[in-house]
Amino acid sequence: MPINQNVFSSVAAWRRRAVSRAVHRGARWVREAAAVTAERPGPYRFRRIGTGTRLAFPQGTVFGDPWIELGDYCIIAQDVTLTAGMMPDLDLGPEPILTLGNGVVLGRGSHVIADVRLTIGDDCFFGPGVYVTTTNHSYDDPDVPVGKQWPRTDPVAIGAGSWIGTGAVILPGARLGRNVVVAAGAVVRGEVPDHAVVAGAPAKVVRSWDPQQGWQPPLRTPAPVPIPEGVTSDQLVALRAWQAEEAKEAYEAS
The yes-or-no answer on residue 137 being catalytic is yes
Strands of the sheet containing 191-192, edge to edge, are 48-49, 68-70, 98-100, 118-120, 156-158, 175-176, 191-192
Contacts of 215 (CB under 8 A, 6+ apart): 207, 208, 209
How does DSSP classify residue 66?
G
DSSP result, 134-201: SEE-----TTS-GGGSPPEE--EEE-TT-EE-TT-EE-TT-EE-TT-EE-TT-EE-SEE-TTEEEETT
Catalytic residues: 137
